Structure 1
């Protein structure tokens, strides 16, 4: 083939991609391997799995690393990862299947299915519909009440979630804006259970896993050995990857299952993606076109960051039922991410191309996920340009300085244990209406904070720069909390809390806590 003809083909392919009319994935497997290797090296990842779909067909898969670093147990296509909030699309699909079956309607009041459901405002309680549970428009603060879900394990059940919602004060009015929420997905799972006549876990197996052939996915309790290969979450500390929150031999059912509790391997996640991009006849029959459209309809507008504008030319972002919708370089994008301590995932679809990809990571992968997502999507939408891990990793490192949005973490490196004497007026048992009781009591020469129903939230009270903070015992609880004694007199006293690092994960919603005296230390 002549050089002129080769160049002509390249121009045609680039033009087709620019017009969105062709399925062009210009990167070869060798080039993808190079970018995956660069990602692992740059971010010191213990393991990951990557799969790419083009025009409905799987064109690339790669697994790297180990389920537990240093064991020699390799990541494989069937290795289970916590997909975290990528669970939300599966929860929404369970509800959509029940709508198709006539068991509920999106516009049903939540109280029709859960009579004990209450929000802080009686009008909101009455008006909240099933659809509102999925689209982050409740008016609550971002991540409100998440301390009843994480850190795990804890002793909150789904009844506690439903009871606790009545005590979470809204930050804005109902349906007036977007703030990411997990608790209402737990409620959505209970609505499904009430309408479907089975537990949430049984419904996911019946309505999603079984009809779609997702045979490796797990929800609810299971035996670790029988599940085969299971990736464990890691944190990167002091130059090494360390397992955090390692699974016991019997993995328990968790309260947060409907918000982020499903585990799947790469092979099943790619099959799940194909269900939406290029369904076979059985998958097409699994969900009606009406409900497929409902899940991908724009329900709540989302803010558009400067990075989205700069990197992708984004002009539109919205939340559907369990999916995020956007335009990237003028093309329709449907995606979601998943984040848990030591586990990161992304499923990204370009429906008009019937193309997309899945990435699963079992380490400290926040920035790694952002970078690989950008590299892979650009190889579809801008194949005529150079898009590498190095390029986007460097841009990401410079971005906080450029956009001025970062808030510096206070320096609390100089600290000392607080004494019982200086906190003598604050020692005792305290109660928050949704979180429950905590003890603030002397233990030897220190004062300890301990939550009754969240045993991971236990630690030593420290003084730093004239303020008190809680230094948690577990390193996996990676967001320290300010502890603020407030008020005077027995009736006016309260304890409040806040994140020491303003940029810590929003699920550490200490700001929603307000404790009042409940008794003494004895």
Structure 2
């Protein structure tokens, strides 16, 4: 028996741990779950079935256990109407999963002494200001990556999508004041999150993409990963974006808008690349991401109640927080570190369980919500979690265990 599983059984001391939620009942089995290889085999069939059923042009997944890739497989094609298959090395835009890389890079640079997490942002971006200047010094570097700037969620994302340049967007924050003192409440950002880029560039005198390549991609053997639109377009093996129109999926164009906010959404990667990123989060690249840095970036900074209502996820998670560039979910009685991404024509999910030493990567070249169904399907199998809609059903099915 896996030592971690044995430890859990000893800790719970019962056949199942019941987690009550309003109107719902939840079971997380404390019996040994199926081996990861078996879960991966089940997931493989489910993944293909879902992509075919929803007519997704192409996608790829990878299942990681420890420092090994248990299973990785591409399904479908890189572009609708084409015949080039998606494979484990096909490069996708990973959208907001890029935030996990920004946090990892920032943690490495802070460790090297280039800046401190509690430095005021205006020390490095002196032109930035809120409407009330008294808030300016309160906004710290950590708040950017923890999504605790206090600003209304997704501030000026509409301007990103309208292809407005960053230098034209930043002055608009002079029209806003935080909803709370920075550091005290959650508000998801892309523009403000990306202020980490000028901070790292100013303190290191190196370009953000260069730093990412030298400190993250190269040492983690992420051979096809990159930052920015040009390297994506130059990739010979890349997936093209697809959007829904007239009941089907149609190929779209790659636009530069979110690429201009590289920390928030500018990374490109394959399933193989992201598998090594997950291995690093699981502790298997300590020379790049040592234990104390992993603890720093996954330390819960702020509760994210809204995540408890997410489709598919809401039937499994009972608590949610934002750390630094990562979300931390309480999936039943287990901790799951997660981030998803969505940018025009692409979806991405990356998650891992440190205790179980298991990770999952999903990349799709279509804006489909099945990515959430796929992720929760996988993790419910790994954690052996069963959601039951009615409390009465729980009582009937598990009355002997209650006794």
Looking at structure 1, the residues matched to 258 and 336 of structure 2 have their Cα atoms a distance apart, in angstroms, of 33
Q: Distance in 2 between matches of 1:265 and 1:370?
A: 19
Q: CA deviation at 1:310?
A: 5.8
Tell me the TM-score normalised to structure 2 length: 0.83
What displacement does 1:200 show?
Answer: 1.6
Q: Which range is displaced more, 347-356 or 188-197?
A: 188-197
**Could you tell me which residue of structure 2 aligns to residue 482 of structure 1?**
none
Listed one character per residue, the Cα deviations across residues 116-142 of structure 1 (whole Å, up to 9, x for unaligned) are 222222122111110011122222221
SS in 2 for 1:315: strand
Q: Which has the higher contact order (CA 8 A, sep 6+)?
A: 2
Match of 1:73 in 2: 84
Q: Are 1:346 and 2:349 counterparts?
A: yes
Moved more, 17-26 or 219-228: 17-26
Between stretches 128-137 and 35-44, larger displacement belongs to: 35-44
Match of 1:97 among 101, 104, 108: 108
Name the CA distance, whole Å, in 2 between partners of 1:221 and 1:235. 19
Equivalent in the alignment of 1:506: none
Equivalent-residue separation in structure 2 for 1:243 and 1:349 (angstroms): 31
Following superposition, the deviation at residue 28 of structure 1 comes to: 5.4
Structure 1 residue 176, shift from structure 2 partner: 3.7
Residue matched to 1:6: none
Determine whether 1:136 maps to 2:147. Answer: yes
More helix per residue? 2
Listed as ranges, the matches of 1:184-199 within 5 Å are 184-199=192-207
Contact persistence 1:56–1:355 (CA under 8 A): no
**Do the aligned partners of 1:106 and 1:130 also contact (CA within 8 Å) in 2?**
yes
CA–CA distance in structure 2, aligned partners of residues 252 and 218 of structure 1: 17
Q: Which residue of 2 aligns with 1:302?
A: 304
Shift in Å, 1:234: 0.4
- 1:29 and 1:20 map into 2 onto residues whose CA distance is 19
Residue of structure 2 in register with 1:114 after alignment: 125
- In the TM superposition, residue 225 of structure 1 has moved relative to its aligned partner by 6.6
Residues 1:82 and 1:306: Cα distance change in structure 2 (over 3 Å):
closer
Give the length in aligned residue pairs. 365
Closer, same or farther: CA 148–35 of 1 in aligned 2, 3 Å: same
1:217 corresponds in structure 2 to 225
Aligned equivalent of 2:96: 85
Over aligned residues, Cα RMSD in angstroms? 2.9
Closer, same or farther: CA 200–253 of 1 in aligned 2, 3 Å: farther
- Equivalent-residue separation in structure 2 for 1:309 and 1:373 (angstroms): 9
Larger-gyration structure (1/2): 1
Cα distance in 2 between the residues matched to 1:112 and 1:23: 52
Residues 149-200 of structure 1 show CA distances to partners (whole Å, capped at 9, x for unaligned) of: 224xx2413x334333222344455434212111112111111111121122
Q: Which piece of structure 1 moves more, 111-120 or 129-138? A: 111-120
Matched, 1:311 2:315: yes
Distance 1:268 1:176, change over 3 A: same
CA contact (8 A) 2:63 2:359 kept: yes
Unaligned runs of 5+ in 2: 1-8, 17-27, 390-403
Give me the whole-angstrom Cα distance separating, in 1, the residues matched to 2:376 and 2:143.
30
Aligned to 1:377: 379
Write the distance in 2 (CA, Å) between the matches of 1:224 and 1:332: 33
Task: Give 1:509's aligned residue.
Answer: none
Per-residue CA deviation, residues 77-96 of structure 1 (Å, 9 max, x unaligned), is 11111100000011111111
The answer as to whether partners of 1:233 and 1:246 remain within 8 angstroms in 2 is: yes
The structural deviation recorded for 1:222 is 2.7
Whether 2:210 is the aligned partner of 1:202: answer yes
In structure 2, the CA distance between the partners of 1:52 and 1:32, relative to structure 1 (3 Å rule), is same
C-alpha separation in 2, matches of 1:206 and 1:126: 32
Other structure's SS at 1:34 match: helix
Is 1:287 matched up with 2:273? Answer: no
TM-score of the superposition, structure 1-length normalised?
0.65
Residues of 1 paired with 2:332 and 2:380: CA distance? 9
